[in-house]
Structure 1
Amino acid sequence: MHQLGALDNLMIAGEMPNIPLHMSALMIYDTRGKRGARRIYDALFSRLEDVADNHFPILRCRLDEVPLNLDKAYWVRDTRFELGYHIKRIALPRPANWQELYQLFGQFHAQPLDRQRPLWELMLVEGLDNVKGVPRGGTALCMKIHHSVVDGKSALRLIRGLHSPDPEPEAATFIEREPPQPADDREFAPPSLLAKLGLAWWHGVERPVELVATLGKLLPGLWPGQDSRVAPTAPGGVPRVAFNHPVDADRVVGHVRMHQPTLKKVARKFHCTINDIALCVVAGALREHLMAQDSLPERDLLALMPIDIRREREDGSIGNQVSVAKVSLFTHMDDVAERLQAISEHASAGKAGSREGSSRAMLELVDEIHPAIILGLGDWLVSSGHIDDLPQTVNTVVTNVPGPQGDAYLAGAKLVDYLGFGPLAPNIGLFHTVSSAQEHVNISFLSTAAFMADGKAYRKALENALQSVLALGTARGKRGDKGSN
């Protein structure tokens, strides 16, 4: 039997009608002069068969929930599993441009996954003839997989399972070069009702005892002054802006591309990271976007940064192992250089304060809260309308999900672009993902039409903010005086 972990079960229990909690990715390939989409479509079947059998058996598993939510759900092998259900193939009307691709992907992301089947889907899109920066005749692969199944790091490993470092169509994929890790047939065997209820009873006995032990680990670190590295929240609390209200069911996406070598020049000059630069671009875009609506608050906006705490030996494990840090975006600052330095310092403090030990203890604490309480609270917040009354803790999310490093091929077609997308959350209607492919870095965003219309204005704000940051690399001036992080 394989029971969901604490955070994974929270992803299931926390899903709401307008908020599906899956991750998604948009991958684009150069298929000029090849059989293109047909070859990729055929390759997906054979490669997914191998990946599911030898590296990711969870791809063949569905949820098996416990009656009355008396305990966390289980992953069980789906006896009705059909690979063809999970892989679709369509064509955009030609010539298709970025806006049409954005709209299609937004619709794809908006649809919740079927909980009666394994929680993932792929969609192959042909006809990319007028997409700027993409070779004519390109092909896109859209992927979504529930956050209870993978986190960012394990999702990247799954993507590597589809790609090869060699352009030969039959070349072995990245993870085919690793030792196989097939699942024991018993690991995903469905538990009987009696077994589920028996374990639920036993876990109910254990929880109070384990809760006391976990609180004993956490309380010393929560005592004021114990860790001065934790970045403080802005005085007066977190402001609420236009996209910090209940989220609609539709999804709007977009992105801006950044040239990695140019970013590295700015990073060297200011002794900061590329992720700090991405945060500064997001901050500048939010500042411009909200000023255009005459709604920029005096208090700085706050971003949530997920941090992977998966140890190297856990790379093949299932589920989520993440911590979080909060970072001020210093949206009150007009000077871009000052904002970049302030964000870099604040991000360093936030990451230092997000310690692995306390993060794992927090996951244990979530594990010790009864699943029925979590689900009942979520249902009550939605049905009562009190979800909008929750205090605002952050304004947006900015996460770093790198794509495959170096050249990567799917059935001989070269991967030329990779965009990542994450889920929205109650009163957090804007999500940013920093991802990389080849020699560029992308900042992609996910929102709704109520907050971002068709996304064009916010995409323009991101482009303007990017140009302002890149100008720092060529401007004469004093370098940042903080150490490299």
Structure 2
Amino acid sequence: MEHLSTLDAGFLEAEDSDPHVSLAIGALAVLQGPLDYDALMPVLAERIGAMPRFTQMLRTWPLDLSAPEWVDDHHFDLSHHIRRAALPRPGDDRELFRVVADVMERRLDRHQPLWECWIIEGLPDGQWALLTKIHHCMADGIAATHLLGQLCDDPADTWATNIRAARQCARGLRFPKLTVNPLYWINEAWHTSVAATRAATQAVHGAVGLAGGLLRPAQASSLTGPVTSMRRYATAQVPLDDVTAVCDAFDVTLNDVALAAITDGFRTVLMGRGERPTPNSLRTLVPVSMRSNDAAHKTDNRVSVMLPYLPVEEPDPVERLRLVHRRLTKAKGSGQRQAGNVFVSAANALPFALTAWTVRMLTRLPQRGVVTLATNVPGPRQRLRIMGRDVVRLMPIPPIALQLRTGVAILSYADQLTFGIIADYDATPDVDDLARGIERAVSRLLAASRVSRRCTDGSILSVVPL
């Protein structure tokens, strides 16, 4: 039996704090047709049966005397989890996304293994969709991507083992040499103590930054407030080559470009609502993976957070990108990631009842510091196939909670970068404006990157690093 970590269990507590939220994450795959349902079911049954977590359920303890634990469901019935739906005509994205929103807004049954898989028919050209939904207490975005890969014909090859956090964890390991030289051991002890002191100082600064971000209210706007039980879903999709061209031209990361595009999209939404964006309008929860290479296939949550203000007030797209780059660079060096990781590690060492009651109390307090969520998950580099059918599109689905009325998940898949947007139904009727604003932002940055590389005589300009 395996117990949930404090972070894993925290998603259950956060869900319990508001009857209108469901803390499940999902992925929507659109596949080539035709669909052979009778042949698909035994294939899914075999592949799901090979993943232990999909046949396990939660067992909780009275008064939180111990953390919830995963136990085998001896009465597991696949028919409780595989559902079938058909779209009304014309079966376009509008109808598909309405079904996705309907599925994601409902909570999973905690008396069953915490996942569902919906087979959706009725798409144009004989295509069909596979909607996978799992509770966030089971896995973070990277772990969920690996689970999705196990449903495919070949194990999904992802970028997850190449993310910066995994490389940094690997670089951070130093193994002393086998030697009897006392000077070597003294030198190693000195470097270790200096590194520990530096890490502790950075974590303290990061903890102060996280606390300030959570306690300092953001500018009041329509982006925050109570959520209802209904959701809207939309996506934005841009060529990955376009994003890479912007990265190369302005010496920034893919995450910088993605967050700059999201910022532009929120600026479009706010101005469309007649609201003036300000420097403190868009403090954003940015999850950061703390998953090392050797934990790439572990089914759990291994994330920390950063809380940068995204420059929604800046009208110029290039300057906005530069500001995003600077702020993320500052946030990465501020110790916020380290502080979050230390906090979770320390919480795991405390009695579970204490941490559970504390998280339960904190998640019930009104939250006014953070406005939205933006999470980036590296997806499969190769096109996936299920029963020989190509996965044409792959779209992520984040959750929303704690008075965040919108959440954006970013997923790279083959040659596309997709933004999946979940939003409160009543508070965000303009969710499509946000999606289109993200796409326009990348187009504008691509045009600016081409101009920055070209002189009037056609020669190449050198771009000054940010």
TM-score, normalised via structure 2 length: 0.82
* Equivalent runs, 1:48-87 vs 2, <5 Å: 48-49=48-49, 51-52=50-51, 57-87=52-82
Deviations 1:144-197 (A, max 9, x none): 1111111112111111111134xxxxxxx459xxxxxxxxxxxxxxxxxxxxxx
* Equivalent runs, 1:65-464 vs 2, <5 Å: 65-129=60-124, 136-165=125-154, 173-174=155-156, 220-223=201-204, 238-300=218-280, 301-354=282-335, 358-368=339-349, 371-372=352-353, 376=357, 387-388=365-366, 390=367, 392-453=368-429, 455-464=431-440
Alignment correspondent of 1:184 = none
Alpha-carbon distance between aligned partners in 1 of 2:204 and 2:43, rounded to the nearest angstrom: 55
Deviation at residue 102 of structure 1 after TM alignment: 0.7
Deviations 1:55-114 (A, max 9, x none): xx1211111111022221111111111112111122212330111111000001011000
Alpha-carbon distance between aligned partners in 1 of 2:350 and 2:278, rounded to the nearest angstrom: 37
Alpha-carbon distance between aligned partners in 2 of 1:137 and 1:380, rounded to the nearest angstrom: 49
Alignment correspondent of 2:190 = none
Q: Secondary structure at the match of 1:257?
A: strand
- After superposition, the Cα gap between the structure-2 partners of 1:378 and 1:222, relative to the gap in structure 1 and judged at 3 Å, is closer
- After superposition, the Cα gap between the structure-2 partners of 1:259 and 1:218, relative to the gap in structure 1 and judged at 3 Å, is closer
Deviation at residue 466 of structure 1 after TM alignment: 3.2
For these two proteins, the number of residue pairs brought into alignment is 417
Of 455-464 and 279-288, deviating more is 455-464
Alignment correspondent of 1:194 = none
Alpha-carbon distance between aligned partners in 2 of 1:482 and 1:227, rounded to the nearest angstrom: 30
Amino acid of the structure 1 residue aligned with 2:429? A
Q: Secondary structure at the match of 2:344?
A: helix
1:7 corresponds to 2:2 = no
Amino acid of the structure 2 residue aligned with 1:88? R
Alpha-carbon distance between aligned partners in 1 of 2:109 and 2:393, rounded to the nearest angstrom: 28
Q: Secondary structure at the match of 2:300?
A: coil
Amino acid of the structure 1 residue aligned with 2:45? F
Asked if 2 retains the 8 angstrom alpha-carbon contact of 1:452 and 1:458, the reply is no
Alpha-carbon distance between aligned partners in 1 of 2:203 and 2:414, rounded to the nearest angstrom: 42
Amino acid of the structure 2 residue aligned with 1:470? L
Q: Secondary structure at the match of 1:14?
A: helix
Deviations 1:292-322 (A, max 9, x none): 2122342231222111111111123231111
- After superposition, the Cα gap between the structure-2 partners of 1:36 and 1:444, relative to the gap in structure 1 and judged at 3 Å, is same
Asked if 2 retains the 8 angstrom alpha-carbon contact of 1:25 and 1:419, the reply is yes
Deviating 4+ runs (over 3 angstroms): 34-42, 216-224, 226-230, 232-237, 352-360, 368-382, 476-480
Alignment correspondent of 1:18 = 20
- After superposition, the Cα gap between the structure-2 partners of 1:366 and 1:278, relative to the gap in structure 1 and judged at 3 Å, is same
Alpha-carbon distance between aligned partners in 1 of 2:351 and 2:465, rounded to the nearest angstrom: 45
Asked if 1 retains the 8 angstrom alpha-carbon contact of 2:376 and 2:409, the reply is yes
Amino acid of the structure 2 residue aligned with 1:481? V
Deviations 1:195-223 (A, max 9, x none): xxxxxxxxxxxxxxxxxxxxx99964455
Asked if 1 retains the 8 angstrom alpha-carbon contact of 2:376 and 2:411, the reply is yes
Alpha-carbon distance between aligned partners in 2 of 1:303 and 1:15, rounded to the nearest angstrom: 20
Q: Secondary structure at the match of 1:328?
A: coil
Q: Secondary structure at the match of 1:115?
A: coil
- After superposition, the Cα gap between the structure-2 partners of 1:367 and 1:142, relative to the gap in structure 1 and judged at 3 Å, is same
Amino acid of the structure 2 residue aligned with 1:296? R
Amino acid of the structure 2 residue aligned with 1:363? V
Gaps of 5+ in 2: 158-196, 454-460
Deviations 1:299-347 (A, max 9, x none): 2312221111111111232311111112221111111101101101221
Q: Secondary structure at the match of 1:15?
A: helix
